[in-house]
Structure 1
């Protein structure tokens, strides 16, 4: 057994470049694991820097200086965010308040429907179970209301932190994009010298992360807008709020789509019942989800994310448990990174056979 472990170690870790790659990966994961909370503004800035690099590079290729291109792109981006904050956010917030206000009525309607089931199907449904489920649901709704109040009070404390982020993040994005080359050179100086293998993995991952972030943002916008138009056509209440939730749900593959379907179906049932309007709305929603998964995602991401669905779900669960939101957001790139490392990792035995 010891001999097998020794042979495996020599095959996998005899290359200095492999050791350098392992050191870089361990340091990176360690920093993210222990300091992810402190690094949250930097992570936001990095995501935005990846997003804004493409238009900045296009302006630079047209003759603009790096400083001017970065300034123009950042000003336009902040302007778009301000328009969304002033137009979309207030309406979605108001609809959220109305939805919370209507939750008791929805709960009563659901309770009445459940209470009628034992009379309609006495052989299949037990009245005691229905009463217990209704009581449990009422208790959970009460706890949910208390949690919303506590969260609202706690969020007031975080307003100062949010204000600081609103100033720091744009500044960090500006310097990350403007001084990209200088910062990459500074990082290279502190990395191990034998980093040829790490360089190959970085070149592959850098392009994939760029495509992933750009594709995710486009997917969120397209799915959110199309869903909002579909809900408006159906006359569904809280259409903008639900469309925003559907747009953000694409950040969590598979799980997000399943989770956001619950409030969509709940609101539609409360408003329309099981009539033709409900089924029309539900079919439109399913068509949008199907087009997103089978048409939009392949077009936006192409072969950049060539992972099995089970691997993606496990990545969301594992990395989300480690790093929360950022783990969920970067679950697919992190899984792709592990796949790229495994594929690029040297095997001395294979290399020796090729040499012979």
Structure 2
């Protein structure tokens, strides 16, 4: 006998589908629960059973060897219309199951016990059940254990929904922050075009920092880990952005290892690289000479990370690089970024160009 639809069937199905669990692969978290349930209850079969519109689908099972069966032979579709816990000690003596093909056949299912799986709204989406091929009866401990394991199934499912919703919200917030930063960068660019010549340097410095922060947010937005940044993706994007502000005869090249660093360290590296490239463009190649700016980031055998930034510009012939208030502030920010990384900058200027080196321990 096929069970009648649940009185709140549409809401119940909506709750079930919200978990996005149907037709997913087997997982150890659920396989271990059904194995434990069968052992505790002394049965040959145990199932995490989800009742869909026209089928029952098993997220986990022991003793059955199939992943779904039609509702016509479903005992659980009757159970979700009942109390939170149902035990049928002999299926051939219960009107809900006495004509079920799975129960009347020789060697068929003669015992059933199931605890409802219920959404936070109290809607039944399925059961954690145990079955056996002979009449059986659970003691109080076994009944309590089955209820507890059913609650564990729902805690796992509800946690997944909460994490998925949190991820959607975080990505939406990150997307809005990124758009806001891009708007700020556009406004800075617009105001720079209208500003006096002596303000260009300050606008350039602010625009570089906003763009670097925007790229960092973009990288975090795409990352599966909420805290780690793929430096092999982030820094090349920073260099590509900086190349847009360089003359055509000055090429910016990068050799960046595929490292994962926390977002704070990634931000500090972005700051140091941006300032070095900007100063190289302004001072090292001020006379129009062609040249290269090389940025490398390598993990050493001892676990330390080495940042090297080199240009083949005017070098010490260009004089001090930090001879304005804006550049002085930029230099202090670079020093602070190096300190944040736990390293100390080494600088070297020669007739062949300018170089900085920073060694730090990744965290």
Shorter-normalised TM-score: what interval? under 0.3
**Normalization by structure 1: what TM-score?**
0.23
TM-score, normalised by the number of residues in structure 2: 0.22
Higher strand share: 2
- Report which of the two has the higher share of helix: 1
